[in-house]
Chain A
Amino acid sequence: MSVRVEFLGPLKQVVGGEDIIELEADTIAGVIEKLNEQYQGVTDRLLEPEGTLHRHINIYLNEEDIRFKEQLQTALSPGDVVTVISAIAGG
């Protein structure tokens, strides 16, 4: 199913500065897999070597943190918006 993916802030460079990426995926894990096919290194920037989400990365499905849903296996519906952000610390 078609979903919309947005990387916000400095993390946008991971997907070549693209504002919005439309792709087909059934789960968050599927989104990351598809993105990694298009943009080299996405998996490394988002996931630990063992496949878990980096602790400074948050992924939101329609503004809800996937850590409080079904994690990377969170299922997607057509038209969903997936937002990816990173912790930042500048002041």
Chain B
Amino acid sequence: MVSPPKADKQLDWYNRYARHIALEEVGESGQEALNRASVLIVGTGGLGSPAAFYLTAAGVGTLGLVDYDNVSLNNLQRQLLHGTSDVGRPKVHSALETLNEINPEVNIHTCQEKVTPESIWDLVSGYDLVVDASDNFATRFLINDVCVQAGRPLVFGAVLQFSGQVTTFTREDDCGCYRCLFPEAPAPQYVPTCEQAGIFGAIPGIIGTLQAAEALKLILGRSGHEVGSTLKNRLLLYDGKESSFRTVKLSKNPGCPVCADPAFDFRRVNYSDTCALEGSPPIPLESLSSTDLSLSAEAAKP
């Protein structure tokens, strides 16, 4: 964690964060709140790069980086934490070096492991909030489910081709989770990966930067600083071909088997397939009306 300003470091602290401190919404106390905060970023690729850059530059006290992968040449078109000389090295190593240069005061923890149901609880529960910058559905559902169970806010972002999606699950009572948005992962033939379908390089830059902004606003908001609205209960959609943003309403599903079920346990879920929940067979849409949604925690989804 970044130390609170002391006499000998005070001038540097004011200088480094002067543009934040100058903001009425942030000020010295907001910057100190950022310095005390801890954020886990899952993935140091296209989304994780800009998110980590901005959270580090902003002086978030402790940053956790998880990524099992090594740097490949085809990463460099968009994954700005890593350089040409890093090809073949663990991503978390090059990320650490890059970020240390940006702001050596940030305490950065790296973990070069796959995120698994066995490992994720200790990771997530050790941080104030989580940024999902992963690249596959299984990991995304796992992160969501664990964040719900651990009570950690989650900033979600995803990209494909020219498109991006961002939202923030705050863990407040009136805010849902990723499974309220998409209850299960699609079968692989329905949604391609970036490797299969491509990704326009700047798109994850835009979406990952929005994730960083959401994370910073969450930290500030939770420490009593008024910085407007997060994307709580809204899904922001970016169309890079049209250069347009739009939002749709994100509703909490009162029958969500994860965030509406206090007995939910992610350890009972198989995350290798469609991340379906045991005992939650698909419910024919026609069998549910909007009023049914409030009836049963056993209803897997509307």
Contacts and interface: CB of A to CB of B under 8 A. Distances in A.
Contacts of B47: 91
B301 interface: yes
A27 to B, nearest CB: 12
B186 A87 contact: yes
A61 to B, nearest CB: 10
Interface string B250-261: 110100000000
B251 A90 contact: no
Interface in B207-256: 237, 239, 242, 246-251, 253
Given A10-B192, A65-B251, A90-B193, A73 B163 contact: no
A55 B282 contact: yes
Interface string B30-64: 00000000000001011110000000000000000
Contacts of A63: 247-249
Interface string B175-189: 000000111111000
B135 A50 contact: no
Contacts of A69: 290
Contact of B290 (A19, A48, A70): A70
Contact of A50 (B190, B251, B284): B284
B157 interface: yes
Given A48-B282, A55-B184, A56-B190, A88 B163 contact: yes
Interface string A28-47: 00000000000000000100
B183 A55 contact: yes
B190 A9 contact: no
A46 to B, nearest CB: 10
Contacts of A50: 284
B161 interface: yes
Contacts of B289: 70-71
B158 A8 contact: no
B161 A19 contact: no
A68 B193 contact: no
A48 B197 CA distance: 23
Given A19-B242, A55-B182, A65-B251, A87 B137 contact: yes
A37 to B, nearest CB: 22
B55 to A, nearest CB: 16
B26 interface: no
B38 to A, nearest CB: 21
Given A65-B248, A65-B249, A55 B186 contact: yes
Interface string B283-302: 01110111001000000011
Contact of A10 (B48, B136, B140, B197): B197
A56 B237 contact: no
Nearest to B204: A91
A12 B289 CA distance: 29
Given A9-B237, A88-B191, A68 B293 contact: yes
A24 B46 CA distance: 41
A72 B247 contact: no
Contact of A91 (B46, B163, B181, B288): B46
Contacts of B182: 55-56, 58, 87
Interface in A1-35: 8-10, 19
Nearest to A85: B237
Nearest to B183: A55
B98 to A, nearest CB: 18
Contacts of A8: 163, 237, 239, 246
A53 B285 contact: yes
Given A56-B184, A56-B191, A89 B286 contact: no
